Amino acid sequence: MLELIPSIKEIWETRKGEVMDSADQITAALQNAASQEPGEELDETVLHLAYKQLKDRFDEKHGGFGGEPKFPTPHNLLFLLRYWKRTGNGEALVMVEKTLQAMRCGGIYDQIGFGFTDIHRPAVVDPAFRKNALRPALLAMAYLETFHQLGKKNMPRRRVKFLLTCFGT
C-alpha cells in the first residue's frame, strides 16, 4: 500500500483525463451489458456440456484440469459436486476427490500454515508462500462441501486447522 497509494496519486494528478475517460468507458460497458435481453433459459444439455468439457480436461494421473501450470479452480469442483448430486454420475465425484487429494498432497499445500499457495511452480521450490484471500476460501468451501456430501463427519484436525486458517480465525 505504501507504494500503491503514491502511484495512484501521481496518476490522478498527471493523467486525470485518461482515468476519467477509462471510467466512462467502463461505466458505458456495464450499462450496455445490464440493458441486454437475457439469453435462453439454461437446460440440462448445458449442464451435461459443462461436465463433458471438464471431464475432457481432467488429468486422471495428477488430478485437476488441463496441463501445467495448474491453478486451483474451486468453482469447477463445486459444479462437479452439484452435478454428481443431481445426476448420480460417480465420475464427477471421482474428479473432485482426486483433485482435492492431489492438492492436499501436492506442491501448492503449505505444510506449515495448512493453507494453499497462490502459485505453483513444480520445478522450483518457492519459499514465498503467497496466499490469495479468495482462492483458499473457495477451496475451503469445496473441501467442506465434499466432506458434507460424502457424510464424512470426522475431519482430521489438520484439515479443520487448514479451514480455520483459510478464514483467518
Is residue 81 within 8 Å of 92, Cβ to Cβ?
yes
- Helix and strand numbers (H, E) in the chain are 7, 0
- The answer, as to whether pTM is greater than 0.85, is no
* Residue owning grid cell 501521481: 10
Q: What are phi and psi of 66, to 5 degrees?
A: 80, -170
- pLDDT tens for 9-41 read 899 999 999 999 999 999 999 888 877 787 778
- pLDDT tens for 90-114 read 999 889 888 887 776 665 555 555 5
Cell triple for residue 82?
452439484
The percentage of the chain sitting over the pLDDT mark of 90, rounded to a whole number, equals: 28
Query: Which stretch of DSSP H or E encloses residue 58?
Result: none
Tell me how far apart the alpha carbons of residues 167 and 25 are, in angstroms, rounded to a whole number.
36
Confidence of residue 80 (pLDDT cuts 50, 70, 90): very high
